[in-house]
Structure formats: C-alpha cells, structure tokens
C-alpha cells in the first residue's frame, strides 16, 4: 500500500508541475500586454518596460515559471530598491491593479468558496446516498416514487433558478435570513450560528442538483449490487439484511461514487460562480470572473487557475487512495 501511495503522490507532483507550466505558456500566448494595462493614461514605452520588469514579464516563460515555483517556497520580491514589494511564501504573485499580494487576495476569498463547497458536498452526499439507498430498499413503493420526484426536480431545476427562488422566498418573503447578512463571512469556529445563517441556503442551493444525481446513481448501484452472487451467498448464510447492506452491498455499490464525489468536490473548489454571484459571496469564482472581465489581472487569473487545477489533481490523488482501501485490487494494477 505504501508503494502505491508513493507512486500516486509522485505522479501528482509531476502533473502539477506540467499543468502549472502549461498555464504559463497559455497566458503568454494571449495577445494582451499586462504591463500596458497597469499603466496610466500618460503611458510611455519606458513606463511599459518598467512595469514589465516589475511584473517579471521581461524574461522567458520558463524563467517566469521557475520564479513562481521558487516564490511558493521562499517568497518573492517584485521591483527593486525603494519600490520593491515583497510577498511572503507561498507567493502567488502581486496584483498591481489592487496593490496587494495575490496570496492575501486569494486567502480572503478562499474561506467563502471552501465553506460553500464543503457544506454542499456534505449535504449532497448525505441526502443523495440516504435517499438512493432508501429508494433501492423500497423499490416500487411510496418512498421510491417520492425519491424519483426529487430526482426529477433536482436535475431539471438550474442552479441560478433555485438560487433566485431561495433568495425571493426564504430570504425576502419569510425573512429567515437578514438580507444584509448575505455575503458576510462568519467563522464556523467562533460564530457557528452566523456561519450557518450565511452558508446553509447557498450550500443547499448548490447541493440540490448533485443530491438528485447521487440519489439516482446510488439507487441503480444498490439495486444492481443486490442481485450479485456474493449477496445471495450472504443471505444463504443467514446474515441479516442490515449486515448485508452495511458490510457487503454498500461497500461495492459506493465504490464508483467515491471517484465521482472527489472530482465533483474539486470542481466546486475551483469556483461555484453562479451560486457565489446570487448570494453575494466573494469567493474564488467571483474573484476570477472579475479579474478576467473587468481588470484583466493576470497574476490573479494565473493563481486561481492554478489553484483550481491543483484541487482537481489533489482530489484525484485522494480518490485513488480511498479507492485502494475500498477495493484492494486497485493497489496491484
């Protein structure tokens, strides 16, 4: 098992390096000069060159990438002499449009996106798997039909529609949440009730479609697994249905869900843009969209893109390790 984990970890590090280098090459090909964008109206060629030097764009793409990698571990200084600006490790760059280190900007936005993604992840797994198992056990009965209605509604209702409905009815009509509190950050450790007020409804909005999909997927997997030979053998040995479900059926049926759940969670961490916009959450998705459409803040765009890519790769690694625990055959493949 240790050799398998080490091998997967090495692959992940190599992929992260390749992805980060690819992102630098892609942004280098974009026909926009960031050094000119951060220049004032009285822009001159000398000012543009000075900005290019401060941004670190006056060297090759490989050198830019290497400086970025070094800055992640040792920090990085932008500019020289009296106008030098130092960003402590891990340095993701410096935003000259906002005059802040990108690490600080991302650090302020990250808790919003992480809370939203984690809350939605827990909700959709809990609801989706529970309803899926219940629907499979009560096949053809009322619970199964009710779960089918939930699946139909959840998969048919777009996130921006369900989010708007939540804001209109839950927030404005019934006043369950103070509209002025929407978008404010409350720490779950120091103010759990305030955090729950701010994030429960956005998490539920984002989790609805995923929970419906996982309900349908879990139901079909449990029904299919229940007809396998090893399940019939377990029943023949006299094991109770609860033991069969817990120790045999769920372990086999939920194995594919682990893979999907990990990648879906990584995708949410990359930025749940629509939900963040509806509820006014200043997360990574909203930050990246603003950097692309309004300011063209290259350091922020590169940083958020790298973070989203890193989350996908890291979650892929975690999924592979978890899958190896669930199915030992994976370790030898």
State the burial class of residue 289 (Cβ atoms within 10 Å of its Cβ: 0-12, 13-18, 19+).
middle
The domain boundary residue, chosen from 58, 82, 101 = 101
- Give CA separation, 331 vs 124, 323, 325, 328, in Å: 29, 9, 9, 6
Cβ–Cβ < 8 Å for 224, 134: no
pLDDT band at 307 (very low <50, low <70, confident <90, very high): confident
Last residue of a domain, one of 67, 101, 135: 101
Which is more confident, 79 or 265?
Answer: 265
Domain hosting 156: range is 103-332
pTM of the model: 0.81
User: Which of 101, 132, 150 lies at the terminal end of a domain, its last residue?
Assistant: 101
In this prediction, residues 38-65 reach a mean pLDDT of 79
Residues 306 and 39: their CA atoms lie apart, in Å, by 26
Strand, coil or helix: 213: helix
Give the count of domains, the chain.
2
**Distance, CA of 31 to CA of 15 (rounded, Å):** 27
Q: What is the pLDDT of residue 158?
A: 83
Sorting pLDDT into bands at 50, 70 and 90, what band is 123? very high
| 194 and 251 part of one domain | yes
Enumerate the β-bridge partners of residue 94: 101
220 and 298 co-located in one domain: yes
Q: Are residues 46 and 170 in the same domain?
A: no
The whole-number pLDDT of residue 149 equals 92
Mean residue pLDDT across the chain: 82
DSSP state of 88: P
Calculate the CA dihedral of residues 127, 133, 138, 144 and round it to 10 degrees. 40
Residues 178-236 pLDDT 10s? 776 777 777 788 888 888 888 888 888 888 888 999 999 999 988 888 888 888 888 88
In this structure, the answer to whether residues 115 and 91 fall within a common structural domain is: no
Rounded mean pLDDT of 256-264? 80
């Amino acid at each position: 098992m240790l050799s398998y984990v080490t091998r997967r970890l090495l692959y992940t590090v190599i992929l992260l390096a390749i992805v980060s280098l690819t992102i630098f090459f892609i942004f280098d090909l974009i026909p926009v000069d960031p050094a000119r964008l951060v220049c004032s109206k009285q822009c001159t060629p000398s000012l543009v060159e000075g900005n290019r030097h401060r941004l670190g764009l006056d060297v090759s793409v490989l050198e830019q990438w290497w400086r970025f990698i070094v800055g992640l571990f040792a920090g990085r200084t932008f500019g020289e002499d009296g106008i030098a600006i130092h960003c402590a490790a891990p340095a993701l760059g410096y935003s000259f449009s906002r005059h802040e280190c990108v690490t600080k900007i991302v650090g302020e936005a990250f808790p919003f996106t992480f809370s939203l993604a984690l809350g939605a992840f827990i909700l959709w797994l809990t609801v989706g798997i529970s309803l899926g198992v219940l629907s499979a056990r009560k096949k053809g009965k009322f619970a199964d039909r009710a779960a089918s209605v939930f699946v139909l509604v959840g998969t048919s209702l777009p996130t921006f529609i369900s989010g708007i409905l939540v804001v209109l009815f839950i927030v404005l009509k019934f006043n369950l949440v103070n509209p002025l509190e929407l978008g404010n950050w409350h720490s779950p450790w120091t103010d759990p009730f305030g955090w729950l007020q701010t994030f429960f409804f956005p998490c539920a909005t984002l989790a609805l479609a995923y929970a419906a999909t996982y309900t349908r997927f879990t139901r079909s997997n449990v029904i299919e697994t229940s007809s396998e030979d090893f399940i019939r053998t377990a029943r023949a040995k006299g094991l109770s249905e609860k033991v069969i479900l817990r120790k045999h059926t769920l372990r086999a049926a939920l194995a594919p869900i682990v893979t999907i759940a990990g990648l879906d969670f990584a995708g949410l961490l990359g930025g749940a843009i629509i939900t963040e916009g509806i509820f006014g959450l200043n997360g990574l998705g909203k930050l990246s969209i603003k950097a692309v459409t309004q300011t063209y803040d290259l350091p922020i765009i590169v940083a958020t893109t790298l973070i989203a890519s890193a989350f996908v790769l890291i979650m892929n690694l975690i999924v592979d390790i978890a899958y190896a625990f669930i199915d030992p055959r994976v370790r030898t493949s």
